[in-house]
Amino acid sequence: MIVAKFFEKYNKTLRDTIVSEFVGRSENTYLLAHDFCIDPANACANIFRSAIKGLGTRDSSLINITVLFRDRYAAGVSDFYKPYGNLVKDIKGDTSGWYEKTLLQLWGLQ
């Protein structure tokens, strides 16, 4: 696998290299591509993290990821999200009402 060979040669992960070499949208784009190649559920977890953590909630990202990827990758997202915290608690902390209930139900988190 390319990621393993990269680490073997440079003694640094490809993900860490992307973080150190790129900034802003370029960094996010390359990280998303990297994570999606490793496991699409991992990429979904990272999108959740970036949409929920920080200032405000990026509703468009949450809606897009739910519409596009929930059917295929819902089972693995919670596991990949664990390093960032608890996905259910984070969704409940950033959303409310029907929006919160809908996200939790669609992703099978209730």
What was the pLDDT predicted at 105? 95
Range of the domain at 30: 1-38
Q: Which band of pLDDT confidence, cut at 50, 70 and 90, is reported for residue 3?
A: confident
Q: Return d(Cα 44, Cα 72) in angstroms, integer.
A: 11
Summarize pLDDT for 32-73 with one digit per residue, the tens.
Answer: 999 999 899 999 999 999 899 877 889 999 999 999 999 999
Query: Are 48 and 87 members of one domain?
Result: yes
- Residue 57 pLDDT: 87
Same domain, 51 and 100: yes
Tell me which residue has tokens 């939790």. 104
If asked whether residues 49 and 30 sit together in one domain, one would say: no
CA atoms within 13 A on the CB side of 14: 15
What pLDDT does 110 receive?
A: 79
pTM of the model: 0.81
Q: In the 3-class helix/strand/coil scheme, how is 42-81 assigned residue by residue? A: HHHHHHHHHHHCCCCCCHHHHHHHHHHHHHHHHHHHHHHH
Containing 105, the helix (H) or strand (E) segment is helix 97-106
My answer on whether 32 and 44 are in the same domain is no
Are both 33 and 87 inside the same structural domain? no
Q: Is 97:105 a contact under the CB 8 Å cutoff?
A: no
